[in-house]
Amino acid sequence: MNLTIEPQESFILARIEDSRLDALSAPDFKARMTGALTGAAPKVVLDLSLVAFIDSAGLASILSLVKGLPEGGELRIAGARDAVRAVFRLTRLDKVLPLHDTLDDAAAAMGSK
């Protein structure tokens, strides 16, 4: 899958550059993200602005990342489209993970903590 992971000043920015996060791409996504989240208390913004479709396997891979975060770690979602937000709401994952309209909003929220 096309995934870029770039350290920023105060957080790690991960951006999925595919239109789908599904059963096909989720294992790769999970493996690469797990490998990148090695710090003591990693703070991550996941940019989903290019993702048009996410299925339950994709959601499960995000949930497993959340569950694997060490104490003090943080994951925020940025730029999710309506269809993707709907899936987050459906599963109630939006109540676990903060969803921000834009990358800037997510970055600001991360910085303000």
Partner 1 sequence: MSVAAPPVAATAEQLKTALRWHVAHSLGKAWEDATEGDLFQALGLAVRDLAWERLLATEKRYREAGARRVYYLSMEFLIGRSLGDSLHNLGIYDEVRAALESLGHDFDEVREEEVDAGLGNGGLGRLAACFLDSLATLHLPGFGYGLFYQYGLFRQEIDNGYQKERPDRWLHAAMPWTVERPEEAVLVPVYGRIVDTIDRKSQYNPMWMDWKILVGVPHEMPVVGYGGETVNALRLYSARASDDFDMENFNSGDYVQAVQEAIGSETISKVLYPSDKVQKGKELRLLQEYFFVACALRDILRRFLREGNTIDRFADKIAIQLNDTHPALAVAELMRLFVDEHDVVWERAWEMTVATLGYTNHTLLPEALEKWPLPLVETVLPRHLQIIYEVNRRFLDEVAHRAPGDQEILVRVSMIEEGEPKQVRMAQLAAAGSHSINGVAALHSRLITENLFPDLYRLHPERFNNKTNGVTPRRWLLKSNPGLAALLTEVAGPGWVTDYGLLRGPLDRLAEDAAFRERFRDVKRENKKRLARVIADLTRVKVDPDSLFDIQIKRIHLYKRQLLNALHVVHLYFRIVEDGIEPKAPRTFVFAGKAAPGYWVAKQVIKLIHSVGERVNRDTRVRGLLKCVFLPDYRVSLAERIIPAADLSEQISTAGMEASGTGNMKLSMNGALTIGTLDGANVEIMEEVGEENIFIFGHTADEIEGLKGSGTYSARQVLETDPRVKRVLDAFQTPLFAPFEPGIFSWLFEHVVENHDPYFHLADFDAYAAAQERVSTQWADPAGWTRKAVLNVGRMGKFSSDRTIREYARDIWNLTPVPPGGNAPR
Nearest to 110 by CA among 34, 14, 28, 23: 14
Among residue numbers 44 through 103, which ones bind partner 1 (CB under 8 A)?
A: 53, 55-57, 59-60, 63, 83, 86-87, 89-93, 95-96, 98
Instruction: Determine contact, residues 31/5, Cβ cutoff 8 Å.
Output: no
User: What minimum distance in Å lies between the beta carbon of 91 and partner 1?
Assistant: 5
Q: What angle do CA 22, 3, 87 make, to 5 degrees?
A: 35
Q: Site residues (CB under 8 A) for partner 1?
A: 20, 22-24, 53, 55-57, 59-60, 63, 83, 86-87, 89-93, 95-96, 98
